[in-house]
């Protein structure tokens, strides 16, 4: 897995070396259903986001996307191991850059539309920022947490996933002078609704030798039904347990930036939405854009 990520980052730097400052690159907004969920109609609103680049001068196409390194389920829920008290999290994410755009896949299972054209100089500056972003934002976070579904509701926690990377990239391109088209762009949000969260501690203070055993047991019990199911019966049994905990019990244990929080859940508990987020305004004075 990590060797594959290194290869994709190497492709980006090779592309950088071949760019000319005055070369122009078409930039596409790309969305598709997550590959492992293509058959699940329940999740039609969940889309994976990426950015595509086409260089007519080089005759090359490239894809840049930020995604979970160990699959979405592993980033969202931990592994519980019998010999260790603390849950084991595989919640790292990273931006990867690789040659090629699978046009058929993106168009048949989602959308792909050009949003701007940038110069080689702007692309090179963006690439430096991508490396910085990769080095400083390493944790994947599926959930956003808000006080209510209202537009101006208080946000307790922001999600940190593929769409947020695309939005950060577009904002950086705008700062560098990219002028975006006046088109509508939508992104998936998965939101939990909760009253004010309660801080519980980190792995050491909860699961360590002098930790809080009561909280430790509660967290392990909460995450137990989220494990992969081996039969239809097990799936429904675990689903009932989740409903009992989250909906009837009004509770959710959130792991965010290496810390655990208790969420007093409230109606409507969770929402998967496909929301419009406008493309940013540009600073057209930079790099002669």
CA dist list (Å): 227 to 43, 53, 84: 19, 38, 16
**What is the rounded distance in angstroms from the CA atom of residue 16 to the CA atom of residue 18?**
5
List the beta bridge partners of residue 263: 252
Between the two ends of the chain, the Cα-to-Cα distance in Å is 38
Three-point CA angle 113, 118, 122, nearest 5°: 135
For residues 94 and 69, is the Cβ–Cβ distance under 8 A?
yes
Residues designated catalytic: 48, 162
In this structure, is the dihedral angle defined by the CA atoms of residues 105, 109, 113 and 119, taken in order, positive or negative? negative
Contact 285/175 with Cβ under 8 angstroms? Answer: no
Residue with token string 């692309």: 123
d(CA 192, CA 138): 22
Element (H, E) at 6: helix 2-18
């Amino acid at each position: 897995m990590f060797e594959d990520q290194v290869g994709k980052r190497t492709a980006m730097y090779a592309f950088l070396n071949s760019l000319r400052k005055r070369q122009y690159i078409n930039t596409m907004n790309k969305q598709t259903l997550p590959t492992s969920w293509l058959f699940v109609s329940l999740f039609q609103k969940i889309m994976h986001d990426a950015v595509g680049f086409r260089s007519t001068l080089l005759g090359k196409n490239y894809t840049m996307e930020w995604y979970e390194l160990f699959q979405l389920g592993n980033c969202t829920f931990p592994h519980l191991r019998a010999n260790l008290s603390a849950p084991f999290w595989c919640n790292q994410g990273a931006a990867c850059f690789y040659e090629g755009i699978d046009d058929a896949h993106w168009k048949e299972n989602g959308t792909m539309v050009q949003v701007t054209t940038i110069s080689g100089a702007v692309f090179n500056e963006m690439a430096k920022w991508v490396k910085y972003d990769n080095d400083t934002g390493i944790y994947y976070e599926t959930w956003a947490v808000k006080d209510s579904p209202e537009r101006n509701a208080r946000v307790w926690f922001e999600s940190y996933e593929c769409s947020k990377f695309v939005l950060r990239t577009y904002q950086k391109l705008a700062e560098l002078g990219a002028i975006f088209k006046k088109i509508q762009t939508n992104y998936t949000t998965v939101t939990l609704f909760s009253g004010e969260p309660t801080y519980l501690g980190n792995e050491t203070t909860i699961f360590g030798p002098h930790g809080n055993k009561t909280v430790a047991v509660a967290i392990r019990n909460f995450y137990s039904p989220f494990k992969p199911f081996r039969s239809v019966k097990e799936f429904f049994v675990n689903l009932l347990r989740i409903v009992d905990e989250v909906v009837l019990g009004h509770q959710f244990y959130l792991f965010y930036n290496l810390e655990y929080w208790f969420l007093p859940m409230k109606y409507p508990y969770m929402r998967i939405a496909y929301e419009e987020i406008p493309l940013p305004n540009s600073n057209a004075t930079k790099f002669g854009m």
